[in-house]
Amino acid sequence: MRIAYYRVSTNDQSVEAQRNAMGGCFDREYLDEGVSGGTMAANRPGFARLLDQVRDGDTVHVYAVDRLGRDALDVQATVRKLINMGVLVEVHGLGPIARGVGELILAVLAQVAEMERRRIFERTAAGRSAARKSLAETGRTHRGKASLGRPFAHNAAEVASWRRNNEASIATTAAHFKLSPATVKRYCAASNA
């Protein structure tokens, strides 16, 4: 059975590019959207389902080694587990990963993916640091924003006031404003509602 596994790190990304590059026409597809490559493969819902359902003789196709993960040891252990189950792992543009040389190539590529993960972390930290410094000096981040992080979807006082005026529950308020119940609780606590 031909099985595809896709992973994208953010919900803004799409698996379509991976699907198209690999040619589609798979018997089964498993995906993890909005899941970091730093999350161990077995802890991702889509990959966990794949592990439960894959059988001896199946072939698992992935677009790139870093789609399996960005932790070298986890990637190697995951591929070794699949190989031991009698499953062929095929990486787009690289071909099938088998014992011996295939595992060696995989180990090198997994290390490269882990290095990239570290570089992403370093670049993110440097960006945050530059934003904090600029915010302290000019009142704006290096990208011109007035604050760090995501902008608030709603004003906390507005949410708390609406809940109080409508005698609404946390769940009803969350649904009305399209917020999580935890956010509504936090907003209401901040406004002493």
- Known catalytic residue: 9? yes
Asked if 5 and 47 count as a contact pair (C-beta separation under 8 A), the reply is: yes
Torsional class of 2: left (φ above 0), alpha (ψ -120 to 50), beta (otherwise): beta
Of residues 9, 129, 161, 169, which has the active-site annotation? 9
Distance of alpha carbon 152 from alpha carbon 33, whole angstroms? 24
Contacts of 37 (CB under 8 A, 6+ apart): 7, 9, 66, 67, 69, 70, 71, 113, 117
By annotation, the residues acting in catalysis are: 9
